[in-house]
């Protein structure tokens, strides 16, 4: 199943009198798909195919993935030219080497250079390199981002606070099918002797989606 | 010379992974990705053939015409072979 499932967006629907955002109670009938999910889960458990603990463990596993996985891969590519070569050739294999298994999907790493800046999007749904970046941010799944970044990527980048030098080519990558993408941002200047761990701390989630740049060394 | 292709303009219903904004547009094959199950059948658990999947690179000028923000910027997308026709 190459396509990621779709999460419900979390929206704050109000503010309590003490200043806490809250979501309204979901006092409405279950939807068709909610009933389907519960029925399927209960059947799998009743028939002894899964245990509730296994379901909880899988949710835990999904929640444990975070952009620090991707940052470790990027930092390794910055310090190890052979690894970078392997990453650009076959990013699934190279990230597997570091213990990140991207499953049946295939990963492509896109290198930002002085000539090219890469951005990823999934216009059709919300495909995202979850094994390396965790769950996608809400904006990544929004119609605004999905429709605008393919039409006016420079304007979108500016709204994220990124202005690129004149003459740089922007390449937008639409994850339409079986590939997933991660941007390999350029290593910041002034980090020559930095350790891999310190470098990883400069790599932001947005820089691996292509709507941000790594942090500058302090 | 990079291989030129055009995305077919058909509009079938179902689980189609070819974005509508690219239909009828010409691009070049950026890389070949191998063979994958056709999602238009696989999504419904129907027995499916394998289809070649390629990454096609389009210029923003080709997609958006005069409205392109920067004509030489590009858009890459994965398109299955049965959606592509050769451009002579």
The model's pLDDT over A14-29, given as tens digits with 9 standing for 90+, comes to 788 888 888 888 889 9
Question: Mean pLDDT across the stretch A79-94?
Answer: 97
Same domain, A100 and A160: yes
Catalytic residue among A92, A95, A126, A207: A126
**What is the Cα–Cα distance from A75 to B3, expressed in whole angstroms?**
35
Report the percent of chain A where pLDDT is more than 70: 94
State the total domains in chain A.
2
Give the CA distances from residue A66 to residues A130, A131, A134, A204, B42, in Å, rounded to whole numbers and listed in that order.
8, 8, 4, 11, 30
Greatest mean pLDDT range, A9-18, A102-111, A180-189: A180-189
Structural domain boundaries enclosing A58:
29-64
Residue A128 lies in a domain: yes
Instruction: Identify whether A10 is part of a domain.
Output: no
pLDDT in tens, B16-44: 999 999 999 999 999 999 999 999 999 99
Q: What is the pLDDT of residue A156?
A: 98
Confidence at residue A12, expressed as pLDDT on a 0 to 100 scale: 66
Cβ contacts of B49 within 8 Å, gap of 6 or more: B38, B41
pLDDT for A15:
80
Q: Are residues A72 and A34 in the same domain?
A: no
CA distance A39 to A100: 32
Nearest CA in chain A to B77: A174
Burial B30-40 (b: 16+ CB within 10 A, else e): beebeebbbbb
Residues A178-209 as b or e (16 or more Cβ within 10 Å = b): bbbbbbbbbbbeebeebeeeebbebbbbbbbb
Model confidence band, residue A184 (pLDDT cutoffs 50, 70, 90): very high
**pTM for the whole thing?**
0.89
Collapsed DSSP state (helix, strand, coil) of residue A126: coil
The minimum CA-CA distance between B61 and chain A, rounded to whole Å, is 10
Question: Span A171-182, mean pLDDT?
Answer: 96
Domain membership of residue A87 (yes or no) is yes
Mean pLDDT for all residues in chain B: 96
In a domain, A12, yes or no: no
What tokens appear for A128 in the block? 């995202």
Answer yes or no: do A86 and A183 share one domain. Answer: yes
**Do A51 and A73 belong together in one domain?**
no
B47 Cβ contact partners less than 8 Å away, ≥ 6 residues apart: B41
Identify whether residues A59 and A81 lie together within a single domain. Answer: no
Looking at beta carbons, which residues of chain A come within 8 Å of B64?
Answer: 151
Q: What is the pLDDT of residues B37-78, one digit of tens each?
A: 999 999 999 999 999 999 999 999 999 999 999 999 999 999
What pLDDT sits at residue A9? Answer: 45
- Same structural domain, A54 and A99: no
According to the model, what pLDDT value does residue A186 have?
A: 97
Residue A122 and residue A99 share a domain: yes
pLDDT tens across A188-201, in order? 999 999 999 999 99
Count of residues making up chain A: 218
What's the ipTM? 0.97
Give the pLDDT band (50/70/90) at residue A1. very low
> Is A175 assigned a catalytic role?
no
What average pLDDT is seen over chain A? 92
Residue with tokens 């990705």: B33
- Answer yes or no: do A173 and B69 touch at CB < 8 A: no
Q: Are A145 and A209 in contact (CB under 8 A)?
A: no
Query: What average pLDDT score do residues A52-67 get?
Result: 93
DSSP B22: G
Q: Are residues A72 and A96 in the same domain?
A: yes
The full set of domain ranges for chain B reads 4-86
Select from B33, B69, B72 the Cβ nearest to the Cβ of A151: B69
Segments of chain B assigned E as strands: 4-7, 26-37, 50-59, 74-80, 84-86
For the domain with range B4-86, which CATH number is right: 3.40.50.720, 2.30.30.50, 1.10.1370.30, 2.40.50.200? 2.30.30.50
B33 interfacial to chain A (CB closer than 8 Å): yes
**A17 domain residue, yes or no:** no
Question: Is A172 found in the same domain as A159?
Answer: yes
Final residue belonging to a domain, choices A64, A88, A113: A64
Name the 3-class secondary structure at A116. Answer: strand
The pLDDT value recorded for residue A2 is 46
Contacts by A188-193, CB closer than 8 A, 24 or more apart: A188/A214, A188/A215, A188/A216, A188/A217, A189/A217, A190/A216, A190/A217, A191/A78, A191/A217
Q: Are A146 and A57 in a shared domain?
A: no
């Amino acid at each position: 199943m190459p396509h990621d499932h779709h999460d419900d967006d979390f929206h704050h629907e109000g503010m309590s009198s003490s200043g806490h955002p809250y979501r309204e109670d979901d006092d409405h009938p279950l939807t068709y798909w909610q009933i389907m999910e519960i029925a399927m889960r209960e059947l799998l458990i009743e028939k002894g195919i899964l245990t509730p603990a296994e379901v909880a463990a899988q949710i835990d596993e999904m929640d444990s993935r975070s952009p620090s996985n991707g940052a470790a891969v990027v930092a390794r590519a910055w310090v190890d030219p052979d690894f970078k070569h392997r990453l650009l050739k076959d990013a699934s294999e190279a990230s597997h080497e570091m213990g990140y298994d991207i499953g049946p999907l295939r990963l492509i790493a896109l290198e930002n250079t002085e000539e090219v800046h890469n951005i990823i999007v999934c216009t059709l749904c919300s495909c995202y390199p979850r094994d390396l970046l965790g769950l996608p941010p809400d904006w990544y799944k929004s119609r605004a981002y999905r429709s605008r970044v393919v039409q006016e990527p420079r304007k979108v980048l500016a709204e994220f606070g990124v202005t690129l030098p004149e003459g740089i080519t922007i390449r937008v990558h639409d994850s339409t099918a079986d590939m997933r993408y991660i941007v390999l941002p350029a290593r910041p200047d002034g980090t020559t002797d930095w350790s891999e761990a310190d470098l990883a701390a400069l790599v932001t989630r947005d820089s691996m989606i292509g709507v941000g740049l790594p942090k500058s060394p302090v | 010379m990079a291989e030129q292709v055009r995305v077919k303009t058909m509009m079938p219903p179902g689980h189609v992974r070819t974005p509508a904004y690219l239909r009828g547009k010409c691009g070049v094959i950026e890389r070949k990705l191998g063979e994958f199950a056709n999602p238009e059948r696989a999504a419904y658990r129907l027995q499916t053939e394998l289809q070649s999947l390629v990454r096609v690179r389009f210029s923003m000028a080709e997609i958006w015409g005069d409205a392109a923000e920067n004509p030489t910027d590009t858009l890459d997308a994965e398109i299955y072979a049965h959606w592509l026709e050769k451009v002579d």
